[in-house]
Structures are given as C-alpha cells and as structure tokens.
Structure 1
C-alpha cells in the first residue's frame, strides 16, 4: 500500500528480512528511535550482531535510543548487557508484542515465539526457537505521530530498568535464617562481626543484656580488633530500676591490646535512652539486634528464665536467633535504629537546656530569698512598734507582698527538689492548736483586702473540741489536752500547704467565710479548707493538681502541684470538690498519724 501524501505501509516476511529492516531503520534515523518489547525478545537481541553495531553507531551520531521492556529474572543478564546500546531503558509489566517508532519509521511485530527450552548466555538460543517472521513497516506520518504519542504515554508510566533490576537482585539476595540452636546463633554473631564490616550498629533492650553480653562474649574486644577503623554505634534501652542513668552517653575510643595482630582502632559510641515513653518503636525484652553495613542483621532473643549472674557461657543466655540479609528486609531495623539514635541526641539537647534553666531558676530563687528575709523581718518589727494606723496599713502591704514573694521562692526551690526527686522532709512533733492559731492569724492579712472572715475548728473522732469563730481576736486557751493535737510532720512544708490552700480560697471569695477544719482520728489527721466563693470549673477539676493547671490569671499554677507532692511525701493524699450548699470549694488532705 502506497500513498504519496502519507508515506508507505507494507508487511515484511522472513526473519532475516525483518532483522535487516530493523538495522536499516536505526541507520536512517535522524533524531530518535524507540522500541517497546516483551521480555522474551531481549535474549534474542544478545545474538543480533548487526543490530547491536547499528545501535552503537547511532549513539555515536547522537541519536536518542530508548527502550521499554519487561525485566524478568530470566533476562536480567541480557538487560544489563543491552543497556549499553541505549540512551535509557525502562521497565513495564504487561507488554505484548514489539513495536518501533522513530522520527522516520514505524515497525510492529507480534510476540516472539519459542519452545520450552531456556535461553541463556552460556547455551545460546535453542535451535527450535524462532522470532516471528512477519512485520508491519510504515513511513506514514500520521501513524508515526500516533504511535509516538502512545510510546510517550508508556514511557511516563514505566520505571527505570536499573531500579527494577536492583529490586529483583535484592529479593534474590534476601536470606532469612531462623535458628534455635544457641551455639549456632553465637557462631553467627561472631562471623557477622568478623566479616570486615565498615559499620556496626548494636541495640540492646536493657543494660543487663548489654553488661552480660560484654561479660560473656566480650563484644567490645571483638569490635576493637579490626585492622581498619570502623564506626560502631551501641544503643542501650534503660529504665529507672537499672543502675545506669537514663540517656547517659559516653564516647569511648577502644584500641586493640598489645599482642593482637594486627592492631586496629575503632570508634565506639555508646548511648543510653529510657525506653519509657518511646513511640512507634517496639523492642522485645531480653533482645539484642546487630546490624552490619546496613544489609545484614541478627536478632538474638535471650532466655528470660535464666539467672544471668550464674551463667558462665554466652550461649547459655541465648534462646534463639533470626539472621536476615538484604537491604530491603533490613531497612525497617535501620530506620528504627536511626530514629532512636537521633532521638537520644534530641533528648540530650533538651536535658542540657532544661538543666541550664533549672540551675538559673534555682540560683535566682536563692538570690531572691536572701534580701526578702531582712525586708520581712524589719517590716514586722517596725509594724509592732508604731501606732500610726496609716503607716501600719502601708507596712501591711509590704509584709503581705514580701510573704508572697517568700512563698514563691520557696515554691520554686521545692519544685526543683521534687523534679530532681531529692525532696527530704524534716519531720517533728507539732502541737496543732497553737500552730494553726498562729498560722491563721498570719493569713488574716491576705483576707483583709477582700473582706473575708477566717474560722478555725477542731474535731476529735468526729466530736467538736474547739470552735474559733474569730481567729484574729481569739487567744490560746490554757489547759487544753495536748495529746489530741499532736502530729508528726514537716512543719515548714505543712505551713506551705495550708498557706497555699487558704490563699487559693481567698482569691476566689469576696466578703465570705474561709474555714479551716482539723479532724483528728486514730490513724490520721484530716485538714479541710472551705470557702464560700466560686466553684471550680468542671473542665479543670480532674487535672487540678497537675503542674501549671489553671484557668486563672492569678498565680503560677504551681501551688496545688507542690501541695500534692508534699502531702504524698508524708504518705497522705489530697483532693478537692465543689460544695453543693452554700457553694464554693473544699480542699482536703490527710496525713498519717505517727504517735
């Protein structure tokens, strides 16, 4: 079929004729030559010497040669070899038939046929194999344009052949070996570490596992004996019950001992991170993971029932092991290790920043406390000596704010002790009656500005024994039975708790009553602070004793958190509830009696 306006289209028969046509098409191409072919055609191309020479000359002329083929495990060798004759080769599944489109020609054939005999580089093409012996050849511009668009669509959907080859080779190289023989697992670990790696990562699920691995297997000595310097990262998960501090890090340079031949030097960095709070990463307990050169790993599970201190050989610790080889299957372990390793650095930076802040706050609190004491002491001394009410009023303002500042610095210092878990109570015998009478009198200065009234009440086994309706005017009653009022506690910190609760009640009460009720039982004493002011927001009530839990613009949000920790340090508990009638809030806490 011949159309002067649209070029020539014809069918060519014969294997040699078709081969010559392919060579001619490549030779006449001026710009680009593209082929799409199923995987079966690739081995045949290996033996088409004339066509390979034509491709080579076309590349030398600057022709762009592109191929879309199906890469299979049977043709990987031929794809690798043939890629040198193309500008780029891509892979796509589901290709049927072969077609070529260039700037001058279109050629289309059906699928290459052959029998069940295999095609490989060593044996050549089986005698009974043959390519299809008919081909459509066309110089029609319309057909060439149409097929070029179709090829471009396929090209965009295909992936680089090198990626497909890499994926298939990784799968072929993947090994999974599950071992339940402890001695075999130990030998595998030894061989893995002695396989001259450039990089070794070790993850231990606990300090105990690391220490016993070092004691029985001497892993650091093995790592230091390499001829060339390698990078070693050791990550140890810890918890608060273990002797090593969480997130402690040590940089160790280990040099081989004299007598080892040859001498080597390895940089071994050990980091420890607390496993509590780790997210999106799970490590089984009693486990060690070794990763070498990012493509081999060995996971060892240790026997949980063994007494590690009595074990004399490393293999006695081992229960089982799983060896994996191949970049793809090892990748999840690599990513998890890298994430944890990076997290230790972040934690270290945060801890350093927090420690600097704590040191500054602690120093500032101490420096503030020193000048406050003489200000407060001298103000109280002057207050007791002057008679002018106006001057007394001004001094009351100084005394009230000095006390607030004193309490704030004490709160900051105690917060630091609580966070560092070094809070120590100085318990002593306290006579609650005079102690609380004096305390409530001191707190009266807080209540004065808001016109609130303070009451103090004592009960013993639910029986009222003292009821002080006006703590400002009431004086200590002589001859009371002290045995009812004795409690063992840290006097300074008990004052802090009550002061905070009374101050808190005063903030949310106007022209109302604040009552302190002390209930003494056989085994504990309960302190309650009632107010008739505003109720607590139901949203904040469950987290009231958390640090910085407040919806108010008054205060720091530390007072109740400190109260909770001090009460619990005494062995008691603290809680709060809204009053039904006449309204307001009740804060209560208990302290065990130590008679």
Structure 2
C-alpha cells in the first residue's frame, strides 16, 4: 500500500509492507548515479550485510562507481558485518544512533522506523524528493558525519580495548559541576587541582566538592595535591572547618594519605581552574565573572578531555606551577638563612675582634714597657712582663687556630687524615700528660681516672690529631671547671680531691649492623646552667670568662666529620656534668 503527496515534480510517499519496501529500495538503488548516504542503527547493519537482495543491490551500486557513505554504531556484536560493509563503503561510527534513513544523490530521501531485532524487517517507509526537506536531512547527515569517527578506529577500540580520546567543550554549568564531582568521586590514585578563583567553591551549592575531597583524603590510595589562589585558600579552609572532624593547623583532618597544597603566586593566576584525575582525565573551568555568589552559573566555559596530549599538558602546567612555588619557597627560605647567616657572621666578626683584642692589648702595652726608652726596675719585673706577654701571645695563637678551625668547619673544608690507631693508648698518653702537669700545680687538687671496661685495645680509623684535639678540649674544660669549683669552696674542700672520670666502652646498634666507640668524660664541677645547655655546642658559648667559647663547637665539628655524635648532660644530684661522644670503630 502506498500513500502519495505530490507538489509539482516533488513527491512524498508512505510505503507499507515489508516486501513492497524491499522491492522499492532494491529497484531505486539502480537509479542512483553518484552518491548514497546511509544512516543506520546497530541492528539494521545486519540486514545490509547478510540479507542477500540488499547486499547485492549495494554491491552493484558500488560497482557502478557510486560513492557510498554508511554511518552506524559499531558494536562488538555487529563488528564482523561492519567489516564486510567496509569493502564497498566508507563506514564511520557514532554512539547511540537511532533510526534509519538514506539520501541518494542529495535529492531522494527515505527513512524507516527503528527496529527492535535483526530479524525484524521494517513495515513502513517514508520516501520524499521535496528539495527543502531533503537538503535539511542532508545537512543533518553531514553534521553527524563530522562528529563520527572512522570504522578503523572504532574496530581497534573494540578489538584491542583502546579507550577513545575526546575533547568536549561545555557551556552548561550544571553539566560541568556534575562532571567535576563524578571525576573526584571516582579518583583511584591521584587528584591534582588548581583553584584559581574562590567563586568556584565559595557558595553552599559547592560544598559537595569539599566533602568529596575530605573523603578522598581519608583514602590511603589517593594522593591529593592542590594549588590555591591567595583568596581561595582561605575560602576552602573556612569550608573545611565547618566539618566536625579532627583538624590540623591547616584545617584538614589528619590522615595517612599524602595531602599537599601550595599558594599560587598572583602573576600565575589565569582565572582558569584545572582538575586532573589519575593522569587520565582533565577538566578546565573558566570562572564566570558576571555571576554573583548566589547564582549557580558561576562555572564559565569548560573543557573536558581524556586526550593523552591534553591531559599531559595540564599535568605539565600543574607541575611547573608546583615547582615554581617550591623554588619560590626555597628562595624565601634561602633569603632568610642568608640574612641569619649575615647576622651570625657579623656577630662572629664582632666577637672574634673582641677576643683578639683581649690578648693583643696587654701584649702591646707590656711590650712598650720593655722598649729601650723605658727602664725596668729589676730582673724579676722583667721576667714577669715577658711571661705575661708570652702567655697572651699563646692565647692569641690558640684563638687564631680555633678561628681557622671554625672557618674550615663552616666551609666544610676540614681535611681529615685517615689512619688506624688504638684509642685506649691514645687516652692513656693524654691523661699522663695532664697528670704530670697537675702534680706540679699546688693549687689544683684534681685526679683523673680512666676506665676502659677491661678492653685493652680499641681501634678507630680517623684523624689522630683531631681526635686528640677533641679529648684535650673536653678534658681542659673538665679540669678548668673542677678547679674553679674547688676554689670557690676551698675553705671546705681544700684537702679534698676533685675527680674526673674518662670512660671508654664499645657499643653496637640495636640490629648489630655496626659498632662504635662511646666515650664519657665526667667531672664533679658546678655543672651546666639551664641557660647555656640549649646552645652549648654553638660558637662563643661558654661559662668561663677566660674561655673563647669555640672549643665545644670545634669538637662537635670534628666528631661529626668522623661520623659520630656528641652531647652533654648534667649528672644527678648536681654533681657536675658529663660529656659523651661516639666514633665508628674500625673492624677488619
């Protein structure tokens, strides 16, 4: 049955009956001269490829030189049929195409309803040659054709599991927000966000975004990195602080998940916020400057993509901003350190100048008293002046050496000689030298006791001279403060001996992976006052008015250069202080 509508040479027909439709289509294929465009759903493709009369009609049309374009949805179920059709037509894929229509020579349009199965033949056909209507449908087909992808690409996606890349421009704020929340909710590994405008998260409608981020923060598998504009950071933290969770000082709940954020430098703020999820999806959102805080359309033009090149570009932008922020922070910290260093250097120079002036002043004044133009009353006075000059010259020489050592430590240029030596014998030699000098001192009443816990030999590899310097500094301090303590109480303790203990022992790490030497030098002097303890090993720190405050600093530098540690503590019951240091032992 056929119903026709005619207008001059233009005609529109409705043809009914499956056999009639088949005969009409196969006959009309013979009249097409140059071009045939077909749009078909995924089920109708089966009829073109497998129903013999239709296939023969299409094949003969192709053989006559007619260009055939077929637009359909290629699926894993119809892929073989589509491959067959590729031999006679240019086939392209578009998702979710519905209905079936064709246009011959851009002048003859026909369409059938959507079918529900491959075995169901259409029972109605609309055929029209009305020019305006055909042109409209041809334009519609061409638009779909431009949005489609090649059959070759779609077949590869199906057969090899390749994910199709896309770039979508969106101007619908509702859709943009839905995509953003969906991406964040489904993140599995990494979330990178640049918040360039506080409008994006400033209103109640977007609390969902913050809530999702809070949940993802608790996911141990997801790393979150965010870059904020200066105003956005405050807005985000204000929103997060509304939640009744345990917060750190930044407003985020404590979590084992890596969460980092940085502040964007103003010149880097482009007004575009960027989301990159799992290195696979990107969403860039322009803020809408015309929207008020109460409006929902605060999202401007947006771009959504899974294109690898696009996503990698956004990752590079994020990493560049992150790196620049890190470098900026490091530069600020370096400037602070430089200012502090300049201050310390000035204080060092001022203190060093003062320390140098102390021995130089008596040397100059006393030396002038020994000039030929002045007379010395007797030899005893002469010898006394020379002795003072020599003593201050030695003090000056010692200070110069200490200052040189300080310079080497701070510039990391202290060259250590490497040799293996027995620390037990070395300590015995040092003690012997001090014991001998103490015997001839009628004022000091000090005894040095050495204990090596039964160990007759302990080998250490390092600079022997520098290790001696450490022992000498610590032992000199112990003697000096023990002597001072005795003299302040000499009416009571004149006949008592002050004892200094040197204890050496061997120790190992908890896993027995390495052994080291532990040395303790213990005195029963006045101890270390609480104000001095925190800065004990810093330059020019001393409780001795006659000391330069460099010995402990230098000792620390030497011990650490050997891979050891040094520390001190007061003894119980206010009975002096103990200094400890470790050195790696030499084991063949």
TM-score category, normalised to shorter length: 0.3 to 0.5
Q: Which structure would you say has the larger Rg? A: 2
TM-score (norm 2): 0.34
